[in-house]
């Protein structure tokens, strides 16, 4: 058969090829295990596969206006974050800090096989009108609505004012 012929003539090369394919496949497996958020398998563009990580709300200094930060990971095709809301707050808006001010943004792209990252001094959520003044250890539900993936609900913990997820 084809395989048998191939083995005799291209034995070594074939091994190397198999290795490459295997490594890729295994790598892919690891990605799914690490970050997978469920959803259908989709090669290439396919549907978005979103998950949220590293979410936190720094305890607002005067109990009022707060920021929110998180990372939306995407192991699938492109999507777009359209809206964020919370049952525990009157308003949640998306903003981008500029060197000396900030501007509201209507939507944010979640790149294919990439991440949308909210971070200090950059893109952040502005949360106002708390039903209950936030305290350390509280969790606030945020509902993230995407163009293609629908709404993802996450519980976001309230951390110290100067907390950063990269600092252990």
Partner 1 sequence: MPRTTRTTRLAGAAAVALAAALTLTACGSSGGGSAPTKVTRQKADSPYQGTVLTKNFEKPDLQLTDTSGQPYDLRQQTNGKTTLLFFGYTSCPDVCPTTMGDIGVAMKALSPEDRQKVNVVFVSTDPQRDTPKVLRTWLDSMGSDFIGLTGDLAKVKTAARSLGIMIEDPVVNADGTVTSTHGAQVLAFLPSDDKAHVLYLSGTEEKTYEHDLPLLAKGVAA
Which spans of this chain sit near partner 1 (rule: CB under 8 A)?
A: 12-13, 16-17, 19-20, 23-24, 26-28, 30-31, 34-35, 53-54, 58-67, 69, 71, 73, 75, 91, 93, 95, 97, 99-104, 113, 115, 117, 119-121, 124, 126-128, 161-162, 165-166
Nearer to partner 1, 80 or 93 (CB): 93
Provide the minimum distance between the beta carbon of 6 and partner 1 in the complex, in angstroms, as a whole number: 14
Q: Classify residue 122 by its DSSP letter.
A: S
Burial of 95 (0-12, 13-18, 19+ CB in 10 A): middle
Nearer to partner 1, 32 or 147 (CB): 32
The neighbour count for residue 73, using CB atoms within 10 Å, is: 21
Nearer to partner 1, 26 or 153 (CB): 26
Provide the minimum distance between the beta carbon of 158 and partner 1 in the complex, in angstroms, as a whole number: 13
Show the beta-strand stretches assigned E in the chain: 50-58, 66-74, 79-85, 89-97, 102-104, 108-110, 115-117, 123-130, 139-146, 150-159
Nearer to partner 1, 15 or 153 (CB): 15
């Amino acid at each position: 058969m084809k395989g048998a012929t191939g083995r005799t003539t291209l034995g070594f090369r074939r091994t190397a090829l198999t290795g490459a394919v295997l490594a890729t496949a295994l790598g892919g497996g690891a990605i799914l295990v690490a970050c997978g958020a469920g959803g259908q398998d989709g090669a290439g563009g396919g549907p978005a596969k979103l998950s949220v990580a590293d979410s936190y709300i720094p305890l607002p200094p005067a109990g009022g206006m707060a920021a929110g930060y998180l990372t939306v990971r995407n192991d699938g095709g492109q999507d777009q974050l359209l809206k964020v809301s919370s049952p525990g707050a009157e308003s949640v808006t998306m903003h981008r800090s500029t060197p000396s001010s900030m501007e509201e943004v209507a939507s944010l792209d979640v790149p294919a096989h990439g991440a949308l990252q909210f971070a200090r001094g950059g893109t952040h959520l502005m949360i106002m009108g708390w039903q209950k003044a936030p305290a350390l250890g509280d969790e606030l539900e945020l509902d993230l609505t995407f163009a293609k993936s629908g709404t993802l609900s996450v519980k976001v913990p309230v951390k110290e004012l100067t907390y950063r997820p990269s600092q252990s």
